[in-house]
Structures are given as structure tokens and as C-alpha cells.
Amino acid sequence: MILDTYLPFRSLPGVIATFRGDFVQLPVPIIQQLYHWDCGLACSRMVLRWKVTRSPSAHRYLGQLDDGEFENALQELRLTRSIWTIDLAYLMRHFGVRHRFCTQTLGVDKGYKNQSFYRKHFDTEETRVNELFAQAKACKVLVEKCTVSVQDIQAHLAQGHVAIVLVNSGVLHCDLCSSPVKYCCFAPRGHRCFCRSPDYQGHFIVLRGYNRATGCIFYNNPAYADPGMCGTSISNFEEARTSYGTDEDILFVYLDS
């Protein structure tokens, strides 16, 4: 559980980043997704907005980023309603954002073909996604096949950086959300961040801090804008991000470019 003494920080989206020993909280803006499929794009907008706010030396596109420029980037990268983590890495590269994409599979895991979450777009997306992985080095998109620990993630956050993580939304739950929250998959369903489902449901979130004393991770959930920052136990976060279907995908994003 999260200590109530930390709850006031949730209502201050413009607060300066907080670092108190084993407590880190970064004021990453909340941007809500518009559709059921664009959580990754909403997370990318949060990250880009964060860089504009915190880094005056950010890439020239970032300083003037608006909806039109973002939409132009999506068209240039030919992004559709099927968004993979590799797409987000290419999006960061497009805007000159230093990044590092860590995953367990360099390409598409054929074992996902029969999963309900992937089944609809698998046949049309497999070739496209595998080509993106194959071209990543030439396109200066940093991709690594590696295992990332919670300690690695905390060290990244402690330096003032953020990360976009693919999780199983059917597993992840928030300890900070009061009951009832305004949105859960765009419908009131109680105090959980997402609708519960026995099947894998891929969803992107933005990591923004942690509290070692209480053993929790802070994150932004693009599924809804209120009440703001979410938090869950490290054990629940680990279960959600390592579920079969995620490939343990994590996109580290750096404040400096």
C-alpha cells in the first residue's frame, strides 16, 4: 500500500521533480488516450511533453510540438491502429529523443498468433514489425534483447528519466485510485485502473517514480485522466510487465538528447 502522506503530490502536475532518498516522483503530465488502441501514442505524447518542459535543449521539433506535427509524424512512420513498442521507439527517434528499447524478442513471437489480443492483426503486422526490427540499427533506433530488473528501472528514474512499459492490464491494479474512479476502459467499473479480463490485454503506461520504503512504483495510466498519478506494488508491477504477451518490453527515454 502507498502511504497517504505522499498523496498530495498527485494533485500537483507542475511540481518540480521530487527526490528524497528512496523516494522519486517526476511531474510527467497526464494525457488521456482517445480510443481503445492508442494508449502507446498517448504515452508518447506524455513523454514528449515532459521533455519540452524539462529540457530547453530538446530537439527543435519538441519545442514546437503540436497535434499537427504529431499527426504528421504518425503518417510519415505509417502508424495505424496497431501500435507495437518498436513503433514507439521509431517515434522517439523521429523527434530526436534518446531512447533504449529493451525486449525479450527481437521481432514478433509467433506464439502470439493464437492469442485473442494479437489474433486480429497478427498476419498483417508480422512482416511489418519484423522489418522494423531488422532496420532498427540502420535507422538509429536502439533495440536490445536483454533482461531488465526493477533495480535497473529505479536507477533510470532516479536520474530524472522516464520509461514507457508494456503491461498486461488484466493484472495491473492501482493502490492510489479512490473508489470509484471516473474511467475504467471508458466506463465506470470500480476502483481498478482497467477492466479485468482472464486473457492478456496489452496496455502501455508511463513510469514516473517509486518509493522504496513502501515498495511501490508510480505511473501514469493513459486510460483516464483522473485522479492522476497511479501507484502499485513492485510485485504487482513485475507480474504485469512480465506476463506472457509483453515480451517484457520497456522503452527507456532520456531527458537529454
From residue 27, give the alpha-carbon distance in Å to each of 156, 179, 218. 15, 23, 11
Q: Is the pLDDT of residue 237 over 70?
A: yes
Q: Which of 26-40, 53-67, 196-210 has the lowest mean pLDDT?
A: 53-67
Q: Is the pLDDT of residue 251 over 80?
A: yes
Q: Could you tell me the sign of the dihedral formed by the alpha carbons of 244, 85, 32, 4, in that order?
A: positive
**Higher pLDDT, residue 226 or 229:** 229
Question: What pLDDT sits at residue 248?
Answer: 95
Q: Which residues have a Cβ under 8 Å from the Cβ of 20 and sit 6 or more positions away?
A: none
| 217-241: burial string, b at 16+ Cβ within 10 Å, e else | bbbbbbbbbebbbbbbbbebbbebb
Q: What percent of the chain has pLDDT over 70?
A: 72
The domain spans of the chain are 18-253
**Higher pLDDT, residue 12 or 105:** 105
Question: What pLDDT sits at residue 71?
Answer: 87
Confidence of residue 200 (pLDDT cuts 50, 70, 90): confident
Q: What percent of the chain has pLDDT over 90?
A: 48
Closest CA relative to residue 148, chosen from 169, 164, 172, 129: 164
- Per-residue cell: 115: 492469442
Q: Provide the terminal-to-terminal Cα distance of the chain, rounded to the nearest Å.
A: 35
- Continuous segment of H or E residues that includes residue 205: strand 202-211
Q: Which pLDDT tens digit goes with each residue over 170-179?
A: 899 898 876 5
DSSP letters for 210-234: EETTTTEEEEE-TT--SS--EEEEH
Q: Which pLDDT tens digit goes with each residue over 118-159?
A: 666 667 788 889 999 999 999 999 999 999 999 999 999 999
Q: Which pLDDT tens digit goes with each residue over 75-97?
A: 898 888 889 999 999 999 999 99
Alpha-helical (H) ranges within the chain are 39-54, 60-63, 67-76, 85-94, 116-135, 150-158, 234-241
Q: Which of 117-121, 167-171, 230-234 has the lowest mean pLDDT?
A: 117-121
Q: How far apart are CA 2 and CA 250, in angstroms?
A: 24
Question: What pLDDT sits at residue 42?
Answer: 92
> What is the fold of 18-253?
Cathepsin B; Chain A (3.90.70)
From residue 236, give the alpha-carbon distance in Å to each of 81, 155, 156, 254. 28, 19, 20, 25
**Higher pLDDT, residue 102 or 7:** 102
Mean pLDDT over 24-40 rounds to: 90
Q: Are strands 230-233 and 216-220 parallel, antiparallel or unpaired?
A: antiparallel
